[in-house]
Structure 1
Amino acid sequence: MTVPDFPLISVVSPVYGCRDCLEALVDMVRAAFLDSGLDWELILVDDRGPDAPWDLIVELAGLDGRVRGLRLVRNHGQHLAIWAGLAAARGDWVAVIDCDLQDDPAIIPALHAAAVKEGVDAMVVDRGSWSDSAFRRWASRTFYRMVDLLAGIQLRNIGNFGIYSRRMTDTLMLFDEQEVFLPVMVNLTGLRTGQMQLDRDERLAGESSYSLRRLVSLAIAIIIRFSDRPLKLSVIAGLLFSGLSALISVVLVVAWSTGAFTVPGWTSTILSVWFLSGLIMAVLGVHGFYVGRIFSEVQNRPRILIEQVTGGEDP
């Protein structure tokens, strides 16, 4: 096997709704590594976006052999598309970047240098400020707060942009969950991670596919998948309702003793409803958490399906 003269950096980019960015992405990645002392490849993962980018990906791969394309059978979502790219990456280090060019590919060599200097297995990016609308910024902040509050996972302002060592990438590939989320799973590996703060540019083309509804759905998926805090909160809620029923019982007993209630059995019925409702919430929280998690895992369906790859490789 031929050993490359320079470290190979694989750049993975999931492609959805940003066909118009792809030529600029290839040009900017090529320019980023010019005179850097690093070799590179760019893996474009077609996540079956509405603008059908596959023909352009094939064309770009034909013009430069360092550009490779993967076409998924259907839309799998951003993070599974990233996982497909990570699995296909051949590099000593793997960089992940969105295709809309809000993150500058020119930073990748600096991320690699910083990771090597600090001796870490990942250098992730705190996105600082970015140029989206006020609503989009509010939605993103709400997403991070939900994950922090309900899952105890402090992502702060960390996105997918970053660079990951071969050891980190191979470790990530050991996770077999049906649902994946790169920033969280990087933390779960336990490998050392550094951080660099960089502001985001305006999106070159297209719009974010993450509406408020999708951000909320993603937050719920992360919370359920990676934390048992909702399970504990459901038990606490059940105990609080039971405690509340005890307080109300005092009020009802006093009211009954003063003759305010004259309907036989009303007090005992109300107390039973409140108390049992609290217990039911706790029990359903326990069972719902585990049943939902087991259901998604035991189906044993293939997580990612690849239809085509560029260069005549076996998908």
Structure 2
Amino acid sequence: MLPPPPISHSNTSQVETIAIKLSKNCGHQNALLAGLEYARDKCDCVISIDGDLQQDCEKFDEFVAKFVAGADIVLGVREDRQSDSVFKKYSALGFYAFMQALGVNLVTNHADYRLLSKRALEALKSYDERNLFLRALVLDLGFRLDFVKFSVKEREAGESKYSLAKMLSFAWNGITSFSIKPLRLVSMLGMTFFVLFAGFGLYALFMRLFTTQTISGWASIVIVLCFFSAVQLLSLGIIGEYIGKMYQEIKHRPRFIIEEVV
């Protein structure tokens, strides 16, 4: 295959633009996947980029050069976070560190600015799951990987629609889609408290049978009961998240429906 011609940035008015309108809001990841699947049969590779254009589109040539050199997946990675606020900077870095600690394979400071070859897109199609986390999913493909460093530009218009609640939801979806460590943590927590509770029960029995001392006070009993009740509810909540995702997967509903292509 011959390498593609250099990308011209001087005459963007000649670029053909196609808009895909979904029938409803299906979420950021499904909307991105809709564009990737639409383009899969129409190209040798696809570059995804956020619509606010803060990611440096001048790096397209480097992405394509990496692809021509044999990479099936090229990830755009931010060089720094100097343009972010203090809260956004450290919350983002904490997000990547936390996800990696839980066993989710992620590249720090990579969002959804990436190139995927047609072969990678075909392989991505075979992933039929409904709870998408593309940042980890593309790494799970296992194809040859490369990176392009870029600097984030200032936003020219509008404000980010990614609220803190959405970011937390996105992180939780990534954790429960790619890591079973929370379930293992619940099991370890349950075993730990079972041992402690058994030891406390034996101690109470010993005090009752072999000493004349009595344990008085209902407050301590109530505190212990509330504590263990909270642990049980937390554990059930985490397990429920996984069961809920299994429920969504089993139904096999479409991830998105394209209403119109303009």
Same fold judged by TM-score > 0.5?
Answer: yes
Q: State the alpha-carbon separation in 2 of the partners of residues 279 and 154 from structure 1.
A: 30
Q: Tell me, in whole angstroms, the C-alpha distance in 2 between the residues paired with 1:251 and 1:232.
A: 29
Report how far residue 107 of structure 1 moved: 0.4
Structure 2 unaligned regions, length at least 5: none
> Counterpart amino acid of 2:80?
S
Runs of 4+ in 1 over 6 A off after TM superposition: 276-279
Number of equivalent positions: 253
| 2:192 equivalent among 227, 236, 240 | 240
Secondary structure of the residue that 1:31 maps to in structure 2? Answer: coil
Which residue is equivalent to 1:31?
A: 9
1:169 CA displacement: 1.1
C-alpha separation in 2, matches of 1:282 and 1:181: 24
Counterpart contact for 1:127–1:199, Cα < 8 Å: yes
Amino acid at match of 1:81: A
- 2:23 is aligned to 73
- CA distance in 2: counterparts of 1:283 and 1:183, whole angstroms: 27
Q: Which residue identity is paired with 1:92? A: D
CA distance in 1, matches of 2:165, 2:24: 21
Matched, 1:298 2:243: no
Per-residue CA deviations over 1:44-77 (Å, capped at 9, x if unaligned) read xxxxxxxxxxxxxxxxxxx756211111122222
Question: In the TM superposition, what are the counterparts of 1:212-251 in structure 2 within 5 Å?
Answer: 212-249=164-201, 251=203
1:82-161 counterparts in 2 under 5 A? 82-89=32-39, 90-117=42-69, 119-130=70-81, 131-161=83-113
Verify the 8 A CA contact 2:43 2:118 in the aligned structure 1: yes
**Is the 1:139–1:215 Cα contact (8 Å) retained in structure 2?**
no
1:19 corresponds in structure 2 to: none
CA distance in 2, matches of 1:103, 1:282: 39
The residue aligned with 1:58 is none
> What TM-score results when the alignment is normalised by the length of structure 2?
0.82
Equivalent residue letter for 2:9? A
Select the structure with the greater relative contact order (CA < 8 A; seq sep ≥ 6).
2
| 1:17 paired residue number | none
Offset at residue 288 of structure 1 (A): 2.9
Percent of aligned pairs with the same residue?
A: 30
Query: Deviation digits for residues 223-276 of structure 1, max 9, x if unmatched?
Result: 11122111111111111111221343354345544433267xx9xx99x979x9
Match of 2:213 among 255, 260, 277: 260
After TM superposition, the structure 1 stretch with the greater mean CA deviation from structure 2, 135-144 or 245-254, is 245-254
Distance 1:225 1:139 in 2: 20
* Distance in structure 1 (CA, Å) of the matches to 2:22 and 2:234: 41
C-alpha distance in structure 2 between counterparts of 1:293 and 1:258, whole Å: 52
Amino acid in the other structure paired with 1:31: H
Residues 133-189 of structure 1 deviation map (CA, whole Å, 9 limit, x = unaligned): 222222222322332233443332211112111101111122111121221110111
- In structure 1, list runs of 5 or more residues that go unmatched: 10-28, 35-41, 43-62, 311-315
Alpha-carbon separation, structure 2, partners of 1:159 and 1:123: 12
CA distance in 1, matches of 2:15, 2:78: 31
Aligned ranges for residues 5-84 of structure 1 at < 5 Å?
7=4, 31=9, 64=14, 66-84=16-34
- Would the aligned equivalents of 1:231 and 1:289 in 2 still touch at CA under 8 Å? no
Whole-angstrom distance in 2 between the partners of 1:65 and 1:195 = 26
Q: 2:24 is matched by which residue type in structure 1?
A: R
